[in-house]
Structure 1
Amino acid sequence: MNKKRIRVFINGFGRIGRSTARIILKESSFELVGINDLYSYEQMAYLLKYDSLYPALPYSIKTEGDVLFIDERKVQLFSESNPEKMDLGALDVDVVLQCSGMFLTVEANLPLIRNGAKRVLVSAPASDSMPTYIYGVNHETFEGEYIVSNSSCSANAIVPIFKIVDKYFGIQGAIMNMYHSYTSYQNLLDNSHYSMDIRRTRSATQNTIPLISSAAEATACFFPHLKGRMSAKSIRVPIPAATLYDLTVKLNGRYTKEEVNFRFEEEVRSIYADILDITNTPGGADNYIQNPYSAVINLPFTDVAGENLLRISAWQDNEYGYAKRVVDMAKIIGLFS
């Protein structure tokens, strides 16, 4: 008996869009049927095949007109800024992966549903009341909504860790620092920038640049009692991949480092085995490039000060690890009946 293959359309073929495509091409439960972005089809094919961080894909990849060939697989290409102009019904699309970094509300994504897509998964925090799911945290509560958010890369890393901490020790508040690789949204050299944050005008390859982060709000969606009790900064560092999370948490009671690490190890091996990992091995950011986990907790750097101030260290490939969770969630919503 043949299992249904989930037909996926990627809207926005940047770093996250291409990472999700790389993962989808290796999974037999998916079929990539369409891609939309505003740059040339030739560059889409080239950047899918070759990447400066990840190995070249072992497929023949080429374009003929508006069709991308990946070996013998055909993928329909579009270059549309208006989602209402794409006939997704003709492609029988099960899930649109909204990886454009735009269209962050339910209303903005409704044209994709009206044009034939069954469901939309937004790879960013929503800017309205769109339902939000994180695979491994609350994906089992998915109720069949047509348009949902996969939250942010940071929330996917932080929320499962905080779930463990809150379960056993209680969280009163938290300060979150993310030593985050630079992104395409930053400048390579000092230059003008369309952001309201003037610090983005500075060269990403030559500076450590602290930026305001939405991670506190994205995380608070899962911990209503912590709304207004968390702060987050994204400290952009001059490396092209991987993020180090430095999380400081005020606990409800008094505990030791050993008690906390025991619970991390116990929970990661059981409940969170598919999305979290632990390490005792010394390493740097490059050790976590193309790591598939939402976060890898660095146990030797767990620390407790004053018996109730907990410090947690964790690594994440903020592109590939996050894209893996997007694909995992796409499987949940794509198979929903």
Structure 2
Amino acid sequence: MKKDQKIRIFINGFGRIGRSAARILLEDDSFELVGINDLYNYEQMAYLLKYDSLYGTLKHTVSLNNGTLLIDGSPVKLFCERDPARMDLHSLNVDVVLQCSGMFLTTHSNLPLIGNGAKRVIVSAPMTDDTPTYIFGVNHREYRQESIISNSSCSANAIVPLFKIIDGHFGIDAAMMSMYHSYTAYQNLLDGKHYSKDIRRTRSATQNIIPLLSSAAEATGYFFPHLKGRMYAKSIRVPIPGTTLYALDIRIKKETTVEEVNEILLQEAETAYSYILDATAFPRSSEEYVQNPYSAVVNLPFTAIVGDDLLRISAWQDNEYGYAKRLVDIAKHLGYSDASVAQ
């Protein structure tokens, strides 16, 4: 694809990540949103794209006309299909599907999208098989033209760049990760029945701090095979609607100081990882990181070392918007997959 051509995007799954990605796409002239699929009615799709309690009212005009979504007058084909095999994407000339449904977590389950006309699929979650996984800013330049890939999880997008820096400079022996994570749609608004195996999910997300096991250690471990079995993660859900604060406790192999670690993190955020990492010493709280575009913002004053080898790093992330930004970034990389024009 030539760089002056728009990348044609189809979103399968129009929840929090899918709608955040749509908002980001609409602000980038590199893309054209051509289709959306989800299992709720079209009026709600249009309404929830236009109005968002966390991110505000979309500046673009949004309307419906006979099952077609019009954004600033440009048509977006809508579907309400459970089975991807029932959607004809050939007529839409789809370059990249953003698979944001959370329901198709293997290469095989995404093949119908390719068979129906999509050139590539990016899954916005860790996979349950050996589907190749890429994180923008970490290993996206190693992309091997696979038609179906994963962009891993929001947590991995925040943690992996930081671990790459620390492992490269000091070596990592083991790590424990705590994520003070905003509540999600999978939690209950009020106490009530829940279909999760974890009974704590029955409790109200707006009234409780709810600790849950997390897949972040496994998702992060994909990039650090030498740390297999040496990482643990938990997600501590807190009663706010957006952002996550990461507390990463890392046992390192080389003695260092807080000053040296912060200098390295700041330098890397300004150079090799300038597009995806930021660092700050300013005393902000979670509200200030809503709609922040970075994968992680290191909170430099909270860096600490205990003894000779136990390092703590803290970082903020808008786990929806920041992750959706990376999803769109990697879609651009795949769309312009010729190395001469890739970002």
Give the TM-score, by structure 2 length: 0.97
Structure-to-structure mapping, 1:132-147, within 5 angstroms: 132-147=133-148
CA distance in 2, matches of 1:292, 1:39: 28
| Aligned-pair Cα RMSD in Å | 0.9
CA distance in 2, matches of 1:115, 1:335: 21
* 2:259 corresponding residue in structure 1: 258
- Residue 4 of structure 1 deviates from its aligned partner by 1.2
CA distance in 1, matches of 2:129, 2:197: 21
Deviations 1:52-99 (A, max 9, x none): 011211111011121000111110000000100100111000000000
- Residue 110 of structure 1 deviates from its aligned partner by 0.3
3-state DSSP class of the match of 1:133? coil
- Residue 253 of structure 1 deviates from its aligned partner by 1.7
* 1:72 corresponding residue in structure 2: 73
Residue 170 of structure 2 corresponds to residue 169 of structure 1: yes
CA distance in 1, matches of 2:61, 2:278: 34
* 1:326 corresponding residue in structure 2: 327
CA distance in 2, matches of 1:291, 1:251: 29
Counterpart of 2:78, as a letter, is L
* 2:341 corresponding residue in structure 1: none
CA distance in 2, matches of 1:326, 1:14: 14
Deviations 1:177-205 (A, max 9, x none): 00000000000001111111111111100
* 1:19 corresponding residue in structure 2: 20
* 1:214 corresponding residue in structure 2: 215
3-state DSSP class of the match of 1:90? helix
3-state DSSP class of the match of 2:161? helix
Counterpart of 1:66, as a letter, is G
Deviations 1:123-168 (A, max 9, x none): 0001100000000000000010000000000000000000000010
Q: Any conservation in 1 of the 2:178–2:233 contact (CA below 8 Å)?
A: yes
Q: After TM superposition, what 4+ stretches of structure 1 lie above 3 angstroms from structure 2?
A: none
CA distance in 1, matches of 2:139, 2:3: 29
CA distance in 2, matches of 1:201, 1:31: 40
3-state DSSP class of the match of 2:155? helix
Deviations 1:231-272 (A, max 9, x none): 000000000000000000000021110110011011111000
3-state DSSP class of the match of 1:21? helix
Q: Any conservation in 1 of the 2:98–2:123 contact (CA below 8 Å)?
A: yes
* 2:57 corresponding residue in structure 1: 56
3-state DSSP class of the match of 2:57? coil
CA distance in 2, matches of 1:53, 1:128: 34
Counterpart of 1:144, as a letter, is Q
- Residue 2 of structure 1 deviates from its aligned partner by 7.3
CA distance in 2, matches of 1:270, 1:170: 20
3-state DSSP class of the match of 1:140? helix
CA distance in 2, matches of 1:110, 1:328: 23
Percent identity, please: 66
* 1:93 corresponding residue in structure 2: 94
Counterpart of 2:14, as a letter, is F
* 1:116 corresponding residue in structure 2: 117
3-state DSSP class of the match of 1:259? helix
Give the TM-score, by structure 1 length: 0.99
Q: Any conservation in 1 of the 2:296–2:317 contact (CA below 8 Å)?
A: yes
3-state DSSP class of the match of 2:316? strand
Extract unaligned runs of 5+ from structure 2: 339-343
Deviations 1:189-228 (A, max 9, x none): 0111111111111110010000010000000010111010
* 1:194 corresponding residue in structure 2: 195
Aligned length: 337
3-state DSSP class of the match of 2:298? strand
* 1:269 corresponding residue in structure 2: 270
Extract unaligned runs of 5+ from structure 1: none
* 2:84 corresponding residue in structure 1: 83
Q: Any conservation in 1 of the 2:3–2:336 contact (CA below 8 Å)?
A: no
3-state DSSP class of the match of 1:145? coil
* 2:283 corresponding residue in structure 1: 282
